[in-house]
Structure 1
Amino acid sequence: MPTSMPTHPSPRLDVADQLLGLLGEFDTEPRPDTQLEALTLAVAADLPVLLWGEPGIGKTAALNQLAAALELPLTTVIASVHEPSDFAGLPILGDDPAQQGVPLAPPDWAVRLVRAGRGLLFLDELSTAPPAVQAALLRLVLERRIGALQLPPGVRIVAAANPRASAADGWELSPPLANRFVHLPWVHDHEVVVRGLGGTWPVATLPWLDPGALRPAVALARRAVCGLLTARPELVHRLPSSETRRGGAWPSPRSWDMTLRLIAFATAAGSSREVLSLLVRGTVGDGPGLELMAHLDRMDLPDPEDLLADPAGAVLPERGDLRQAVLDAVVAAVRNRPERARWDAAWALLVRAVETGAPDLLVVPATTLAALRREDWEVPAAIERLAPAVALSRRADLAAAAVARPARAGR
């Protein structure tokens, strides 16, 4: 007689399920995460984000954590296994196509997002989607439309891709699609992985926007972007020459508008310079992004005229490159309007600089300022306080040059 099948799971599998449950238990700890903060700000700014990382690096886990933190339902769509019509809409014949046309029906996941009114749409494996699918994604990413369906404002879009070298049948992203994303590199943190495998995973602290900082943040963002592009008009639009770079971040009017928005959000959130750098370089590219960061640094520098008016109360930047820029600007201001009182004030400012920072930064401004002296101007006593520091810096430069000469001669 045939043996009847058991109607309940095997006790051995019950034990296995218990073991799986124990392996799934973990604790959490708060931990700052630059990558996740940059991602969260871009999502809050309602900008599509593209995470670039090797397979298995934790991109999907980060999206699950982000969705949970923002209390958004997560919808995952594998772009590479869909046809173009899945994103453009499936044509459906009606009773009278000649009169009513042929409507484009959206896929079920899009309908669910519209019904929910909010959500996080995760487009995975974007770099393995063929060009025809990438073209169909353009309208979804930019206009949030699928066929005749408009996604609600509460839906945010994040995509993930592997570099072409590590993607199965990978394609470079088309320039029009690439220019619609904020590109963020995604790498693993060794310490986080080790602690997580040990049973303690981090819970990232998400940025908080200060309601009182919104208007100043917008003003700063507009001033920064417009100031840079006024001085460097060639950066407004620069399509890279290589196919690989065209598939990443590059400057265009669209990406500069995205950058302006990200500066405002990062400023209102009080984010670090590292987070802001990730965002702007991921939007307009490394070169223009670094220029923008340098421009932002210069915007925060004190006015040379204010420093000359009160050298004793001057507060100089701590970073060496910014301090050097301030001192050079002060000397330039004296050169443009050379007066005895301004010349003396500049020397007093150099004394304050040597008392609060590295003396090697004073060699060039002190030498230039000395060359501006008029015959009837007495040498200020402050110069004596600078002489030892300037002489020491010069001796160090001469010693470094002497060491470098034999090294160059031996090449």
Structure 2
Amino acid sequence: MKLNTFKDRIVGYYNTGNCITLRSKPGRGKTSVVEQAPAIISAALGKRMGYSYISGPTLTPADTVGYLIPSKDAKGNAASFFTRPPWWYTAEGLPLEAYDGGVVFWDEEDKTEIDLKKVVGEMALTGRCGPHKLPNGWVVWMAGNLRSDRSGSTRDLDHLINRRCELKIEDDLESWLDWGLKSGMPALALAFAKSNWHIVTADAPEVQGPWPTPRSFVMCIQHLMQFGDGSGKLPHDNAAQEDARGYIGSAAAAQLMNFIRLEYELPSLEDILADPLGTKVPERADAQMLVAYSLAARVDVGNISAMVAYLDRFPQEFSVLFADAACNRDRNILNTPAMDGWCQRNGTLMVTISKLRAKR
């Protein structure tokens, strides 16, 4: 399943009341999309939804069911009770019962100790966790990797598999691009991923070491952004290449550095706006893609006409790429005269713009 498909179905999954478990290779964005679930459900149902996070690899018995405290009952006889476990409180410091419902998210479920899997697995089915019972409206969702991913997974238990709906998340470029646009990823990162998705989603190397996943690629880009020269372009010096190797490995880092160097050879925004009909159009397809994403990140109703005049000289596929990225970032340009005129000359673009307008 694609992450965007899962996201579109979140409210329905919640309404089932069942445990949903996402499986994928490492670093595919499962946690990020589940973190959005309470806000999506709240908006759809008009309820106050909470979110509680459990980290499977660090889970201990006390984290799971709380501490057993010696005490006395009403008649003075020796007794004991369990404290509430840490996950009973959200990041807001409120207990689960303070909400209309929510998602208890058990991340890295596959790396949890076997005995604790049994405890949380029962909570996923019945809401019971030792002496505790989830308040109404709360569900348990999980995410993890497969044992074949060499990610430290422990053994799966059939009776727990039978208590949940397992969804395998695909490597999906469009879902990642959608996330990247909304998260403010630089144009270069979007263009590199679109041109080199096979690199960004490479399998783990036989010899252990850094390798690219969507997660490590994003971490690498965010790291390099801290060392730019203020122009918005990423660095490609020796230190930057060494840093990139530390995130995504030598081969992928070399490809990324070459792509970054390409950006320095492209026409500037100032040149394009000043002379959209005379400014040179890059010959390479990956350079054209990079220009389209870069312009989409800086378009507004004031400069859309010049950008359209320049991009009208590109192959049609890049006009669609630009329009999709630009209009999702700034919907004010959807109904500009420049965009309307462009659609009249480009049938493929008209279909894209019609879909974007239908989302409003």
Task: Give the shorter-chain TM-score range.
Answer: 0.3 to 0.5
TM-score, normalised by the number of residues in structure 1 = 0.38
Larger radius of gyration: 1
